Structure 1
C-alpha cells in the first residue's frame, strides 16, 4: 500500500486529544485565535491540533493546561499517547515543522539533505529504493521533495546549518551528469544568506556523529525539537534531555567539520575549478 494512502495508526489518538483541546477551549469561552494568542502560538497551530492533523507536544500541553485550568488533563493525555503517535507517518509531521522553523541544523552522512537536492539527484535517490518503486511513485516523491525547495528562499527563511559527510559528495548517484549538477547546486547553496554548509572530511580520527544522521529545529514558539530516521521509520523527539544530547553532538560536529571557506574550496576542487 502506498504510504500516503496507508491509514495512520495514530490518527484516532491525535483526534481524541484534539477534541479535548477544543472542548476545554469552548468551556473557557475562547476562540482559537484567542487561545493561540495567550499560548503564544499561531492560530493555525491550535486549529491543526483540534482537527487531529498535528500532535500536541508536551510543552504546549502544559501551557494549555495552565491557561484552560484543566488540572494537567492534556499533559497526562500526551504523556500516555501510544508510542506510535511519537512517530509521524512518512515524515509528514516533520515537513510541517520544517516549513515553519526558525532554525534548522542538519547532519547527514548517507545522502544529500533533502533541502539541498536537485530534481535529478532526488530521482536517482528514489530509484535506488528496495523494494523498487514504480515510476509513478518515484515521480510523486520527487515532486513532493521539490515542493520543499522554496524553504531556503522564503521571505523569512530559517537560519539553516548543514553538515554533510564528504562521502556523500563522492558518491555518483545517477551518473556523472547528475553528480556534477548536484555539486554545482551545493556550491551555489553555500552563497545563500543564512545558510551554512560544512563538509565532514574523510579520514578523521574522531567523529561525533557515528550514531547516524539527525535534524534539529526550533519552532516559531521557540521549542527545540529533533528528528531522526531509521530504515523502517522516523521519530520526532521533544524530550528536552534527548534534544540536548543531539544539540551537543551537533556543536561538536561543527568543530570537527571543515569551515565555510574550506568547504567551498573542496567543492571547487571536486568541480575541477
Structure 2
C-alpha cells in the first residue's frame, strides 16, 4: 500500500529541551521560546552529510523524487542537500532517520559536524594544486608566506585573527600549515620564487624571539635549491604589488593558475587573461625587488642587529 505523503514540519525547541511540532500546543511566537542560534555552515561537512543521505536513500530504494514526495519536499531540494549545496535541517534529519531506518545516523552526523571548516572549501582546491605544482611564485605584503613560516610565527599569525580562534583550533591550523612545508623538501620539490615586501620581515609578529627565529628560518630557506627569496625594498616609491598578495602555480600539465585572497575570502583563477596579468605583475615585482643575494645580505644584517 502506498504511503501517504507526510509534510515536513519543523520542530521548535523549548526551554526544557523538549520538542514539539510547530502548529501543536506550543506557540512558537510565545515569549517562552528560545530563539535558535544561527549556525555557520561547514561546506565540506555538508557534502559529507549529503553523501550519507544519498547512500541511505539508495539503500532504501528511493529516488530523490520519491523521497521528497514522502515529506512534500521538492526533488531539487533533496538533490541540493545530497550535493552539499543546501544544509540538512536537524528536524528533517530526524524524520529521514525514521523513514530510512538509519538508527539516527543523520541526526548524529549533524550533531557532530563542526561549525566551520578547518580548511575552507574555497581553499581546498588551491591546496590540492599547490601540492602537485611544478612551479610556485608568490608575492606577499602582509605576513611571511605560509610555506616559509615557522611554527611559532604561524601560531602568532593565527592568534591575531579576528574573530579569535580557540587554542585547539589554532593548534590544528598550525599543524596543517606545517604539513605544507613538505612541498619544499620533497624529492620533486617545485621551483619556487617568493617576493616579500620589506615591512613583512621588519614586523616583529609574535615578539622578538619569534621574529628572530623566523628571520633565521628565512635565511636557511633562501639557500634551498630551486628556491628564490627576494625582498621588495620599503624605499621603492612605486611597485607592481599595490593591489595585494597573490600566488601563481604551474601544474604538471603546464596549466597556469593564480590564487588571490582578501579580507573575507579568496579565489582560484584559471582564466588565461587574468593569470597573464598577474604573471606580468610577478615579473615586474621580481625586477623591482632585491636580488636573492642582496636579500640574504639584508637578512644577515637584520640578524646581526639582534
TM-score, normalised to structure 2, is 0.62
Instruction: Find the counterpart in structure 2 of residue 7 from structure 1.
Output: 43
RMSD of aligned C-alpha atoms?
2.4
> Is 1:92 the equivalent of 2:92?
no
Residues paired across the two proteins, number = 200
> Is 1:211 the equivalent of 2:211?
no
The correspondence of residues 173-252 of structure 1 with structure 2, limited to 5 A, is 173-252=205-284
2:165 aligned counterpart, secondary structure: coil
Please say if residues 122 and 267 of structure 2, whose CA atoms lie closer than 8 Å, have aligned partners that are also in contact. Answer: no
The correspondence of residues 1-273 of structure 1 with structure 2, limited to 5 A, is 6-8=42-44, 89-272=121-304
Q: Distance in 2 between matches of 1:178 and 1:106?
A: 23
Q: Which runs of 5+ in 1 are unaligned?
A: 16-51, 53-87
Describe the superposition over 1:144-197 as per-residue Cα deviations: whole angstroms up to 9, x where unpaired.
Answer: 001111100110100000000110001111111100000000000010000000
Q: What displacement does 1:7 show?
A: 2.2
Q: Distance in 2 between matches of 1:270 and 1:102?
A: 32
CA 1:201–1:146: 2 relative to 1, 3 Å? same
Please say if residues 43 and 121 of structure 2, whose CA atoms lie closer than 8 Å, have aligned partners that are also in contact. Answer: no
Which structure is larger by alpha-carbon Rg, 1 or 2? Answer: 2
Q: Distance in 2 between matches of 1:10 and 1:221?
A: 31
Q: Distance in 1 between matches of 2:39 and 2:196?
A: 30
Instruction: Find the counterpart in structure 1 of residue 19 from structure 2.
Output: none
Q: Distance in 2 between matches of 1:216 and 1:108?
A: 12
Describe the superposition over 1:86-108 as per-residue Cα deviations: whole angstroms up to 9, x where unpaired.
Answer: xx725111111111000000000
Q: Distance in 1 between matches of 2:45 and 2:251?
A: 25
Q: Distance in 2 between matches of 1:194 and 1:172?
A: 28
Deviating runs (4+, > 6 A) in structure 1? none
Please say if residues 157 and 205 of structure 2, whose CA atoms lie closer than 8 Å, have aligned partners that are also in contact. Answer: yes
Instruction: Find the counterpart in structure 2 of residue 23 from structure 1.
Output: none
Q: Which runs of 5+ in 2 are unaligned?
A: 1-37, 52-82, 84-119
Please say if residues 221 and 227 of structure 2, whose CA atoms lie closer than 8 Å, have aligned partners that are also in contact. Answer: yes
Bigger helix fraction: 1
1:220 aligned counterpart, secondary structure: coil
Q: Distance in 1 between matches of 2:215 and 2:197?
A: 13
Q: Distance in 2 between matches of 1:148 and 1:141?
A: 11
Q: Distance in 1 between matches of 2:39 and 2:183?
A: 26
Q: Distance in 1 between matches of 2:272 and 2:39?
A: 34
